Structure 1
Amino acid sequence: MRHNINRRQFVTAVGAAGMAGLAGCSGEDDEDTLSWHAGGTGGTYYPLSNNFKTIVEEHTDYSLQVQSTGASLENVGNLNREEAEFALIQNDIAYFAYNGTGHEDLEGNEMENIRGVATLYPETIHVITQDDSGIETIEDLDGGTINTGDAGSGTQVNALQILETAGIEEGDFTEQNTDFDTATDQIRDGDVDAAFVVGGWPVGSVENLANSAEISLVEVSSDLREDIMGAAEWFAEDTIPAETYEGIDEDVETVSVQAMIATHDGVDDDVVETVTETIFDNADDIDQKAEFIDVDSAQDGMPIDLHPGAEAYFG
C-alpha cells in the first residue's frame, strides 16, 4: 500500500533553519571572496566543497569561504536571504523551496530567488545499524530509536519520507537528531537502533564507523523502493556496492536523490559563469565523487530554473 508523504516536518525544519541562519557573509569587504555553504564535516558536501575551493582559487581571482552547515534545508534558507553566494543542496529540497510546496503552510512562501547551477552526483540513502541488531528491513525500525539526521536537514526530510512510506509514522519511533559523526558514534555505542546518513558513498563518517565496529546496512526492499519512488518522484533507485565499507560483502539496494550546486539571482552572472566554468573545466582535479561529476550530466534532475551565468556556460 502506498502512503502519501506528510511533509509537515519539512515545513517545521525550514522554519527552524530560517530562524537559525548563519550570519551573512555576502557583505564581505573583499568582493572577490564568495561564501560557499556546504554541510557537516562528516558528509560529502564539506570535502567536495573544499575541492571546489582549491580549483577556484587556483584558476581565478576568487576565494571561496567554505562553511560547515546543517546542509540542504539550512542552505536554501541562507541562499534565499542572500547570506551565501553558493551552496550544495539536494535536488528535492531545491524543488520544495523554490515552489513552496509540501505543506499548506508553505503556500505563498516560495523561495523564488534561488537558482540552479549544476547537478553533481547521487546522494545515497544509507540506513545503518549494528551488525547483530536483527534489523533487516525498514519495516523492522517500527518502535525503535532512530537518528534521522540533523534537525532541518535534507537527511531528516528523506528519512521521514521513507519511514512514513513504510508505514512508520510519528509516534511509532523515537527520533534523535544529530550530525553524521555523532549519529555513527550513537550506532557504535548502542544509543540508537539505526541512523540515516545521506551522501555520496563512501561517506567518511560511515567509513570510520565500519573500520572500528561491525555494522549492517539495511536494504530498502524492491516493493518499498517502488512505493517511495511512486510517492516522491525525486527519488531514484541506487545501490551501495559490496566492499564500499568494511564488512559489507554484498550490494545493498536503496534509493537516492541528487546533490546539486545552487545560488541565488542576486549573484552576478559573470561570477556564476566563471565559477561554473572553472569547476567543470577542471573536473579532473576533483577527488570526491569524480566519476559522477561531468558537464554532460550536469543538468540531469535539475528541478529549478538555472542562473543565467550557469546557462551561459552550459548553453
Structure 2
Amino acid sequence: MTLKSTLAGILVAGSLAGALAGGAQAQTLGIGTMGQGTSGYSMGSAIAKVLADNGVNALVQPSAGTSAYLPLIDMGELDLGIANAIEVAEAMTGTGVFEGKQLANIAPAARLYPFHVGVFVRDDSGIETIADLAGKSVTYGYTSQVTINRVVDAILASAELSEADVTPVMVPNVVRGAEDFAAGRADGAFFAIGSGKVTETDAAVGGLHFVPVPDDEASVARLQEIVPQAYVTTIEPADNRTGVDEAMPVMAYDYMLVVGAHVPDETVGEIVTILRDNADVLAESFGGFRGMDPDDMIVDIDVPYHPGAVAALGDN
C-alpha cells in the first residue's frame, strides 16, 4: 500500500470515528477493494455510487488485496469490503490463508453475486472433461493468489484427480497463467468465466472452451470437501462468456459484501436494503451484478452474518 493510500485510510478512519454516532446519513463509509482495473474495484465503485445516490456517502479504498484490507476492516479503519466467500470464511475462522491471523471483527453482510470459474483448453486439444486433464499440463502455483490453488484442486478432485495426476505449470497469477497457455506452455489454464482476458486468449489461440465440471452428487461432494463454500451450477452461453458454447455445469463461489463489527446494526441494515432495492442499478454500473438475486442475499458459507444484515434481509 502506498503512503498516499495509507494516509487516505487514516483520514477516512478519523472521520468515521466522529461520525458513527450520527447515523448513516452523516457517515463516509470506507470500502476496501482490490486495485483499479479489477472486478473487485468495479464492484466497490458500483456499490459506492448506489449508496451515495441513496443518501449514504461511501469512498472506495483500493489496495493490493484482501489480505491488506480485511485486517483494516477488522481494526475499524475501514467499514466495508469486497471478498469472495472462501476468503471471508477463512479470515473469520483463522484457517487457510489466514492461519493464525483470525479476524474476529468482520462478518459478511450480503451475497453479491456468484463467481463462475473453470479451466479452459484449446478447441483442438481433444480435452472435453475434467478427467481428460490427466497427464496434461495445467497452470498451478498462484503464489500471488494463493486461494486459487485450492480452487484448482477442487476442480480436479471433482473428477478424482489431484495435482499428482497433471503436470503443474507454475504461475504467480491467473493473468500469467493465461499468457503461458497462449504461448503453448500449458494445456489448460484456470480463469474466471466472463473475463476479458479469456476473450483475448481465445483470439490468440484460435478458439478455446471451458471444461464442464461433473455435477453428480459424488463429484460435487469431492469438490466441496476441498472448498466447502463452493458449489456447482449450470450456466448458459452469453455474449460475455467466451468459451461457453452450450449449457454446462461449472464451479462457482460467491462474492460477498463484508462489514466490520464496529458498524452499527441499523447502518448495515440500511446498506443492504439499498443494495437489495437497487440490484438493477448495480447491474447497469457493473455487469457482474446481473447475477445478483435480491431475494437470496444471505446464503450459508459456514460463518455468521452481521446481525444488522440478518435483521434487514432475514435469515435465509
Change (3 A) 1:77 1:218: farther
Match of 1:298 in 2: 297
Out of 162, 182, 188, the residue aligned to residue 168 of structure 1 is 162
Residue type of the alignment partner of 1:87? G
Runs of 4+ in 1 over 6 A off after TM superposition: none
Question: Is the 1:117–1:276 Cα contact (8 Å) retained in structure 2?
Answer: yes
Question: Is the 1:149–1:196 Cα contact (8 Å) retained in structure 2?
Answer: no
Change (3 A) 1:136 1:78: farther
Change (3 A) 1:282 1:83: same
> Hey, what's the Cα distance between the residues in 2 that align with 1:250 and 1:308?
41
Aligned pairs for 1:264-279 within 5 A: 264-279=260-275
Match of 1:8 in 2: none
Gaps of 5+ in 2: 17-26
Match of 2:237 in 1: 242
> Hey, what's the Cα distance between the residues in 1 that align with 2:229 and 2:28?
33
- Higher helix proportion: 2
Structure with more relative contact order (C-alpha pairs < 8 Å, separation 6 or more): 1
Aligned pairs for 1:89-238 within 5 A: 89-102=83-96, 106=99, 109-139=101-131, 140=133, 142=135, 144-147=137-140, 149=142, 151-163=144-156, 166-169=160-163, 172-178=167-173, 180-198=174-192, 201-210=193-202, 213=205, 214-222=207-215, 224-238=219-233
Match of 1:84 in 2: 78
Deviation string, structure 1 residues 201-249 (Cα, Å, up to 9, x no partner): 5233324434555222122234643421355432211223234534642
Residue type of the alignment partner of 1:314? L
Q: How many residues of Structure 1 are paired with residues of Structure 2 in the alignment?
A: 289
Question: Is the 2:157–2:222 Cα contact (8 Å) retained in structure 1?
Answer: no
Out of 238, 253, 256, the residue aligned to residue 260 of structure 1 is 256
Gaps of 5+ in 1: 1-16
TM-score, structure 1 as length reference: 0.75
DSSP-derived class of the 2:262 partner: coil
Deviation string, structure 1 residues 266-289 (Cα, Å, up to 9, x no partner): 234444333323222222201234
How far off its partner does 1:54 sit?
A: 1.5
How far off its partner does 1:183 sit?
A: 3.7
TM-score, structure 2 as length reference: 0.75
Quote the RMSD (CA, aligned, Å). 3.4
> Hey, what's the Cα distance between the residues in 2 that align with 1:70 and 1:285?
26
Match of 1:4 in 2: none
Question: Is the 1:44–1:203 Cα contact (8 Å) retained in structure 2?
Answer: no
DSSP-derived class of the 1:87 partner: strand
DSSP-derived class of the 2:161 partner: coil
> Hey, what's the Cα distance between the residues in 1 that align with 2:96 and 2:177?
27
Match of 1:307 in 2: 306
- Larger radius of gyration between Structure 1 and Structure 2: 2
